[in-house]
């Protein structure tokens, strides 16, 4: 027997590297372990975390920090309003042009393609907190639900059967296959703008590396804010609706994620474009979607049924502390 790396290992290494560029380059095996991390394939994800530390050395210029904050909120809305409420739940309608724009903006968050994201989220709602739920903290704990689940070899595959309504669009399939393209172009643009500013607009006090590292930091922060809905919104908060899962409403997570923290509401009626069912529940994504509806970009936002609202009011009334009767 010849010494060296086994042929199967070589094939596995080549497949992981190839998928950095083309997520569908080599077919995923349905027999892959649900908990076996593909360390080589997630190397770019790990390197982004290391690169974010570069902000310590490049400094904190006003333009770079401002750009990072702007990118954070624009891309967070793209995840909550587009990847989640549109692609995953079809909570409103739009035309094909804007659908593609939504997909590009969501893709810029570097959270893989729109088909992959929607397919996994639909599976989660179908099996929330059951044994087969891929990111349930009840089943596998905090860290697995927060980051571990999407590093597993079995979870890289896009289940096209569950997103047939989206997979009929070639442009969405392209973005799903080459999910690293838009983030790479974004990072290249950040470096290019910073390089130009350093030489042509020195009063802006920035440069290519500073713009790049702060853009990467924005991406990493966005990662972990998004992940809190999987890891924390099923553990901490209040349960207005007695759903079959562990979903909870959490004001702090709602503020952090532009409205996604009203997670128990969402699991009670996932089809709605609104997660903060009541006026007192701040849902910035909903406000932004209403604005897009007003200017004609989207239409037919799915409302919360009155029966679900009535159920919520009754639950709130039942849980409210009763005031003691005044003494006669």
User: Which pLDDT tens digit goes with each residue over 273-310?
Assistant: 999 999 999 999 999 999 999 999 999 999 999 999 99
Give the C-alpha distances (Å, rounded to integers) separating 287 from 27, 71, 102, 108: 40, 19, 17, 22
Q: What is the pLDDT of residue 12?
A: 62
- Backbone φ and ψ for 217, nearest 5 degrees, come out as -60, -40
69-86 per-position pLDDT tens digit:
999 999 999 999 999 999
Cα separation, 152 vs 131, in Å, equals 16
Point out the least confidently predicted range of 130-144, 254-268, 278-292: 130-144
Strand 298-299 relative to strand 93-94, pairing = antiparallel
Cα separation, 276 vs 265, in Å, equals 7
- Backbone φ and ψ for 259, nearest 5 degrees, come out as 115, -5
Handedness of CA 71, 77, 82, 83 (dihedral sign): positive
20-57 per-position pLDDT tens digit:
777 766 666 555 555 788 888 899 999 999 999 999 99
Which residues have a Cβ under 8 Å from the Cβ of 52 and sit 6 or more positions away?
213, 216, 217, 219, 220
Q: What is the mean pLDDT of residues 243-257?
A: 97
Handedness of CA 164, 166, 168, 172 (dihedral sign): negative
Cα separation, 176 vs 106, in Å, equals 11
């Amino acid at each position: 027997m010849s010494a060296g790396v086994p042929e199967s290992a070589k094939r596995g290494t080549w497949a992981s590297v190839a998928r950095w560029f083309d997520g569908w380059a080599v077919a995923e095996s349905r027999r892959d372990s649900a908990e076996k991390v593909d360390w080589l394939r997630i190397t770019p994800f790990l390197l982004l975390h290391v690169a974010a530390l570069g902000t310590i050395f490049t400094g904190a210029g006003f333009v770079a920090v401002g750009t990072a904050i702007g990118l954070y909120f624009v891309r967070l809305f793209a995840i909550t309003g587009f990847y989640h409420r549109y692609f995953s739940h079809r909570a409103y309608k739009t035309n094909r042009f804007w659908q593609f724009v939504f997909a590009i903006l969501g893709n810029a968050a570097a959270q893989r393609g729109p088909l992959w994201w929607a397919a996994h989220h639909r599976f989660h709602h179908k099996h929330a907190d059951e044994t087969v739920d891929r990111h349930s903290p009840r089943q596998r704990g905090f860290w697995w639900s927060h980051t571990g689940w999407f590093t597993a070899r079995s979870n890289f595959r896009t289940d096209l059967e569950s997103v047939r309504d989206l997979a009929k669009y070639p442009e969405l399939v392209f973005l799903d296959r080459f999910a690293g393209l838009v983030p790479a172009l974004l990072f290249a643009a950040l470096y290019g703008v910073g390089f130009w500013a350093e030489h042509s607009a020195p009063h802006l006090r920035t440069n290519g590396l500073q713009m790049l590292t702060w853009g990467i930091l924005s991406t990493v922060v966005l990662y972990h804010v998004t992940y809190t809905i999987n890891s924390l919104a099923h553990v901490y908060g209040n349960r207005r609706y007695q759903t079959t899962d562990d979903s909870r409403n959490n004001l702090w997570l709602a503020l952090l994620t532009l409205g996604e923290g009203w997670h128990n509401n969402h699991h009670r009626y996932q089809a709605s474009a609104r997660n903060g069912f009541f006026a007192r529940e701040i849902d910035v994504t909903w406000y932004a979607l209403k604005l897009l509806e007003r200017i004609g970009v989207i239409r037919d936002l799915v409302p919360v049924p009155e029966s679900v609202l009535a159920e919520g009011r009754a639950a709130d009334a039942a849980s409210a502390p009763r005031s003691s009767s005044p003494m006669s």
